Amino acid sequence: MMKSLAVKAITVLLVATFGIGTACAAESLQDVMKRRSLSQQDLLSAAKTYTPSGKRDEFVAFSSGGQSGQVIIYGIPSMRILKYLAVFTPEPWQGYGYDEESKEVLKGGWIDGKEITWGDTHHPAISETNGQYDGQFLFINDKANPRIAVIDLRDYETKQIVVNPVFKSEHGGAFVTPNTDYVIEASQYAAPLEPKKFYPLEEFNDKYRGGITYWKFDRGAGRIDTSKSFSIELPPYSQDLSDAGKGPSDGWSFTNSFCSERYVGGIERGRPPFEAGCSAKDTDYMHVINWEKAAKLVAQGKAKKINGHDVLMIDTAVKEGILFLIPEPKSPHGVDVTPDGKFIIVSGKLDTHVSVFSFEKIMAAIKAGKFESKDPYGIPVISMQDTLHTQVALGLGPLHTQYDSKKCIAYTSLYVDSQVAKWDYCEGKVLDKISVHYNIGHLMTMEGDSVNPKGRYLVALNKLAIDRFNPVGPLHPQNHQLIDISNDKMQLLYDMPLPLGEPHYAVAIEASKLKPAVRYKVGTNSRTDKPHPGAARAGEERIERNGNKVTVYGTLIRSHITPEIIEVDVGDEVTINLTNLERAEDETHGFTVSTYNVHASAEPGKTVSVKFKADKEGVYPYYCTEFCSALHLEMQGYLLVKPKGWKPAPSKEIAKATYTEEDYRATLKKIADTQAVIDVVVGYITSTNYKDFPDVVNMVDDATDQLNRIAGAKTKYEAAAAKKDWEQANLWAEQVFQYQVKAADIGLRAKTYLEQNGAKKVK
Ligand code: CUK
Ligand code: CUA
């Protein structure tokens, strides 16, 4: 041992002094450029994106996860993925769908009593205060099964899933009003509003409907209040994207549509297909809605209850003057309100133009009662000419628009051209274009749909990657391309493969606005934010039986699961509650029981539970699934499922190892040595102003927890030694050593933290 260490030390010295042992001297920047065929431009891009070890990103992006039903979180400009956040789909790492608390959240998303385990997420939205991102909540929609999820950014957990009570599909959500009073969700494919109601397609125009739901968000509760939410009935035009007005247009919302032809396909019945009939007319309709007044009408009882939900019918909406239509170039996609709230920009997917509508002109026409016609449902139609500010030819397939921090500057994705166009919507002129790879859908600038966009970067969310990455089979990753927009010319910086579903939209917020917690108050159910009835503190662990129901109140702390043995009878219903007693940052424990398909992730302070029927007799190890300490592998236990009528044999004891007095003395020596180390660390910490560092205070509390357990174990080893039971004496002494090791580990981390964060000597 000594010898090998010495050899190692000498080798290190030789390498450091003479470069012996390395192939050649360190490469210069020029060498690396040559070897990797990098241009000056590449180096500039690298310098703009490379985030050195330990440094953090300026912005955090929340991307839809498409068919994965999740949210993908990454940093900008490094484009490093930080988390896949489970929303509509079970996700085992987070225990989502494998512990009881998250199952309750997922259950909120069941439809007609049916479990739904996937979602098609499209549009994430960050909560806003006065039109600015506030970093408190995130919302995202499920297009396939019309639902909205609420994620709390204090702990990045999905708290609620609400099912739309009147739609069968949706798309134009989630978009928030400037103070997050409402979360907007528009339907997509028209269907009868009543649940489980059948009407033949021949009755499409009469019985099928679209609509928009305004979900009332209760910020204090951090949940959508379904009882105060309402919808507006709309014609069976396929409503598409939405956006809320802001500034002068606050109180209004805009939703466009396609297939206002109300065409019904059916090749099998000899009819031309949907795509032909749905793009026959030159225009579709933008819906202009006064949601603020709509909410008042609902409060006055003017809505009709459908499936227990308030719906303002078209007739009422028309009579009360809250619903208007404006023709827009056919098959439009994005509808995006400018940061100042004065214009609404609509992209006509099949047109080369983007159309800039003026809110002021819209209001003037409404005020003057100047309408060009009514649609078949009696909704007043305002003329396009009366409301257009300008139209700009950008290129083929314009889809979505985002804004810059610079006035009047917008960026629009061009799907067919595979380009991003930078243009001026006040003057109506194109400023720059850049090619992307390939077929861009949405694009995103930093806080680019708020009243206060931050500029700097743009991400192109491309639909195809084709040849950009190492091939991984016929299914390719998505490609999010980072573009620098801080100068007049856009510059492509980075390709990021995104290997999870097809993201549609993403939103990015200044990282400094996000302030997630590092721990829960001990015993919290993270999905309800309330104290968990199954919580236990140290010393309160127990197993209770009530008939065939066994409930475990357990705890987790490095490196120990209490209890270590759970005995049940075959057929028992077992609930295991676990509270993580840790306070230190990132000290998560996981929990699973062999072959019972349960898993939980218990972050510091959290209480989680897993539940299953012990329907097969046998021996099932359980263990901690997160590598949490040097003795993580020993963080284990046994679930014993006993056969019916099984009785233990009278004299059997658990197999013993044999220890001698010598072993016991050696362990005592080890304890004394370790204590000396701990004393030095404690001496250092208490000599500083450590109380000024809340993170260190928490670490010290955790370490003290471990040290406080020593007294009990010490009494046991001394009693055993007095009886010359060296087996017991040695094992309890070893346990004391384990408490010391964990305390020392935390203590050393606290010491490093203090050294790195400029703690001052006070003694
Ligand atoms: S959508 Cu997919 S590219 Cu759902 Cu916003 Cu436009
Ligand atoms: Cu706790 Cu591993």
Tell me the CA distances in angstroms from 323 to 240, 256, 351, 370, one per residue in order: 16, 13, 26, 14
Cβ atoms of residues 119 and 87 within 8 Å: yes
- 669's enclosing H/E stretch is helix 661-686
pTM, rounded to two decimals = 0.89
DSSP-derived secondary structure letter, 132: E
- The preferred substitution site among 142, 439, 442 for testing ligand 1, maximizing ligand atoms within 8 Å of CB, is 442
pLDDT for 362 equals 98
Mean confidence (pLDDT) of the chain:
94
pLDDT for 15 equals 44
* pLDDT confidence band for 17 (50 / 70 / 90): very low
Instruction: Assess whether the C-beta atom of 122 lies below 6 angstroms from ligand 1.
Output: yes
Range 327-340 average pLDDT: 94
191 C-alpha vs ligand 1 centroid, how far in Å? 21
Cα–Cα distance between 432 and 441 in angstroms, integer? 18
Instruction: Assess whether the C-beta atom of 505 lies below 6 angstroms from ligand 1.
Output: yes
Residue 399 alpha carbon, nearest atom of ligand 1: 6
Q: Computed over its alpha carbons, how large is the radius of gyration of the chain?
A: 31
Q: Which two tokens stand for residue 685?
A: 């910490």
- 697's enclosing H/E stretch is helix 694-708
Range 180-197 average pLDDT: 97
* pLDDT confidence band for 16 (50 / 70 / 90): very low
Strand pairing class (429-435; 419-424): antiparallel
Instruction: Go through 272-311 and write b for each residue having 16 or more CB atoms within 10 A of its CB, e for each that does not.
Output: eebeebbbeeebbbbbbbbbbebbebbeeebbeebeebbb
Least trusted range by pLDDT, from 117-121, 262-266, 394-398, 433-437: 262-266
Residue 559 alpha carbon, nearest atom of ligand 2: 1
Which residues is 553 bridged to in the sheet? 542, 577
pLDDT for 10 equals 43
* pLDDT confidence band for 652 (50 / 70 / 90): low
pLDDT for 24 equals 61
List pLDDT tens digits, range 125-174: 999 999 999 999 999 999 999 999 999 999 999 999 999 999 999 999 99
Please report the DSSP string for 329-350 in residue order.
Answer: ESS---EEE-TTSSEEEEE-TT
Range 341-357 average pLDDT: 93
- H helix runs in 300-374, sequence order: 314-319, 359-368
* pLDDT confidence band for 23 (50 / 70 / 90): low
56 C-alpha vs ligand 2 centroid, how far in Å? 27
Percent of the chain whose predicted confidence (pLDDT) is above 90 = 84
**Closest listed residue to residue 235, CA positions, set 374, 42, 33, 60:** 374
Range 500-515 average pLDDT: 97
* pLDDT confidence band for 26 (50 / 70 / 90): confident
* pLDDT confidence band for 20 (50 / 70 / 90): very low
497 C-alpha vs ligand 1 centroid, how far in Å? 19
pLDDT for 555 equals 96
Instruction: Assess whether the C-beta atom of 349 lies below 6 angstroms from ligand 1.
Output: no
> Helix, strand, or coil here: 670?
helix
- 47's enclosing H/E stretch is helix 40-49
217 pLDDT exceeds 50? Answer: yes
Range 185-212 average pLDDT: 96
Residue with tokens 């498409």: 66
List pLDDT tens digits, range 65-110: 999 999 999 999 999 999 999 999 999 999 999 999 999 999 999 9
635 C-alpha vs ligand 2 centroid, how far in Å? 6
Least trusted range by pLDDT, from 233-242, 562-571, 698-707, 719-728: 698-707
12 pLDDT exceeds 70? Answer: no
List pLDDT tens digits, range 654-696: 777 788 999 999 999 999 999 999 999 999 999 999 999 988 8
Range 264-280 average pLDDT: 88
* pLDDT confidence band for 1 (50 / 70 / 90): very low
Cα–Cα distance between 432 and 419 in angstroms, integer? 10
Q: If phi over 0 gives left and psi between -120 and 50 gives alpha, with beta otherwise, what is residue 261? A: alpha
pLDDT for 279 equals 84
Range 24-34 average pLDDT: 89
